């Protein structure tokens, strides 16, 4: 991935260089400052300063009522977040990793996502759940999965995957303004990444975005895979292939017009998704492309996905289980009818 370079596309004059971690921190700090209904709840968000130090200093700044350390009780505190949202608060609930969020899935799927429709429109749940996702840190199978596609399956929730410091900084506030539940996936490989935050930054939780313009092939991705995909686009350029990179950003509801517009231009699509292939988000994107842009395609969509295995500990095996730049390059080359 490109954290080594730490660069983002489109660096402007009016920018501030910050880490993704700092961006999440600043976004929460702003929200807590702007709206007294906002509070942060989760494991070790207070005294510990946040598992990933996102909330360092918050306990001192905002006090224990609003920076609420919870027991190891995901079902209970995520459900309490749903209840607090019903009661007029704007909770930010931090879940340590997506794997742990499965303990709270009942409250997210059976309550948060359903309450508005099931009550005939009487009760909205303005809840934000943030969680770390993804592999690459040798944390093995129970801390490394990418289950964004499961959440994106559920009507009634919005699913976001900020991949840049600008999105990490900008998406939280509109997520809190959304009257319905929003789940934000933060890829753990990005936390130390530095990027240039434009001043002012944008805040869009509606649309996908083209991160790199191209004309030969669309590389469609999100989250932690964005940077590998951009690196692949650079390599493809040296081979004379102009790749367009689309960052989905919003995994539900999907911004299909942006995806389809890119594919109509390039006539070829590679979908890069760290999640598993079978029944995954990549399948949804590929199906949507064939539904919406079939006659614009010069070739069937191709997917580069995580291997269908639990993520292993050993570095070489973990690397082999994840989409990597050479695979993305090879997939695009193959689509172009090129061998090298």
Q: In angstroms, how far is CA 80 from the centroid of its own chain?
A: 24
What is the residue whose two structure tokens read 């689509």? 335
- In this structure, what is the dihedral angle of CA atoms 164, 241, 328, 291, given to the nearest 10 degrees? 80
Q: Does 256 bind another protein (CB under 8 A)?
A: no
Interface with another protein (CB under 8 A), residue from 27, 82, 147, 163: 82
Tell me, yes or no, if 166 is annotated catalytic.
Answer: no
Residue-level length of the chain: 340
Return d(Cα 64, Cα 62) in angstroms, integer: 7
Cα R_g (the chain), whole angstroms: 20
> Would you say 123 or 201 has its CB closer to another protein?
123
Q: Does 129 bind another protein (CB under 8 A)?
A: no
Q: Does 75 bind another protein (CB under 8 A)?
A: yes
Interface with another protein (CB under 8 A), residue from 42, 49, 81, 323: 81
Return d(Cα 17, Cα 265) in angstroms, integer: 33
Q: Does 292 bind another protein (CB under 8 A)?
A: no
Q: In angstroms, how far is CA 160 from the centroid of its own chain?
A: 5
User: Do 177 and 92 contact (CB within 8 A), yes or no?
Assistant: no
Return d(Cα 73, Cα 164) in angstroms, integer: 30
Return d(Cα 221, Cα 233) in angstroms, integer: 12
Q: How far is the CB of 186 from another protein (least distance, A)?
A: 23
| Torsions phi, psi for 132 (to 5 deg) | -80, 145
Choose the binding region for another protein from 27-35, 63-71, 128-136, 142-150 (rule: CB under 8 A).
Answer: 63-71
Interface with another protein (CB under 8 A), residue from 4, 65, 200, 238: 65
Q: Does 220 bind another protein (CB under 8 A)?
A: no
Tell me, yes or no, if 143 is annotated catalytic.
Answer: yes
> Would you say 120 or 200 has its CB closer to another protein?
120
CA-based nearest residue to 163, from 133, 127, 200: 133
Q: Which of residues 84-113 bind another protein (CB under 8 A)?
A: 84-89, 91, 106-107, 110-111
> Would you say 178 or 194 has its CB closer to another protein?
178
* CA 288 to each of CA 3, 176, 211: distance values in angstroms, whole numbers, following the listed order: 31, 29, 20
Q: Does 123 bind another protein (CB under 8 A)?
A: yes
Q: How far is the CB of 147 from another protein (least distance, A)?
A: 20
Q: Does 59 bind another protein (CB under 8 A)?
A: no
- In this structure, what is the dihedral angle of CA atoms 239, 240, 242, 243, given to the nearest 10 degrees? -10
> Would you say 180 or 296 has its CB closer to another protein?
180
Q: How far is the CB of 153 from another protein (least distance, A)?
A: 13
Side-chain half-sphere CA neighbours of 299 within 13 A:
17
Size of the site for another protein (CB under 8 A): 43
| Torsions phi, psi for 142 (to 5 deg) | -95, 5
Interface with another protein (CB under 8 A), residue from 12, 14, 121, 316: 121
Return d(Cα 108, Cα 79) in angstroms, integer: 7
Interface with another protein (CB under 8 A), residue from 2, 44, 51, 116: 116
Q: Does 10 bind another protein (CB under 8 A)?
A: no
Residues that bind another protein (CB under 8 A): 39, 65-66, 68, 70-71, 73, 75-89, 91, 106-107, 110-111, 115-124, 155-156, 158, 178-180
Catalytic (active-site) positions? 74, 143
């Amino acid at each position: 991935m490109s954290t080594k370079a730490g660069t983002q596309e489109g660096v402007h004059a009016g920018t501030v260089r910050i880490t993704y971690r700092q961006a999440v921190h600043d976004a929460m700090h702003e929200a807590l400052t702007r709206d007294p209904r906002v509070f942060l709840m989760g494991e070790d968000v207070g005294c510990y300063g946040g598992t990933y130090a996102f909330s360092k200093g918050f306990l001192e700044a905002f006090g224990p009522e609003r920076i609420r350390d919870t027991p190891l009780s995901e079902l209970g505190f995520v459900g309490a977040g749903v209840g607090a949202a019903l009661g007029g608060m704007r909770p930010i609930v931090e879940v340590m990793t997506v794997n742990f969020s499965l303990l709270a899935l009942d409250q997210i799927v059976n309550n948060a996502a359903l309450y508005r429709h099931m009550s005939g429109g009487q009760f909205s749940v303005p809840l934000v759940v943030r969680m770390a996702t993804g592999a690459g840190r040798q944390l093995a199978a129970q801390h490394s999965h990418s289950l964004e596609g499961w959440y994106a399956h559920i009507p009634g929730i919005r699913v976001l995957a900020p991949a840049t410091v600008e999105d990490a900084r900008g998406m939280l506030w509109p997520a809190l303004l959304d009257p319905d539940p929003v789940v934000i996936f933060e890829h753990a490989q990005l936390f130390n990444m530095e990027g240039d935050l434009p001043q002012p930054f944008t805040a869009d939780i509606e649309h996908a975005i083209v991160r790199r313009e191209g004309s030969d092939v669309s590389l469609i991705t999100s989250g932690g895979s964005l940077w590998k995909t951009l690196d692949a686009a650079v390599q493809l350029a040296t081979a004379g292939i102009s790749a367009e990179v689309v960052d989905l950003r919003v995994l539900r509801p999907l911004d299909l017009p942006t995806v389809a517009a890119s594919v109509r231009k390039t006539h070829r699509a590679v979908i890069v998704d760290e999640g598993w292939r079978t029944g995954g988000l990549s399948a949804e994107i590929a199906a949507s492309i064939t539904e919406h842009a079939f006659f614009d395609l010069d070739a069937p969509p191709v997917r580069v996905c995580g291997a269908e295995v639990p993520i292993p500990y050993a570095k070489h095996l973990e690397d082999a289980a994840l989409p990597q730049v050479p695979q993305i390059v090879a997939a695009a080359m193959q689509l172009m009818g090129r061998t090298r």
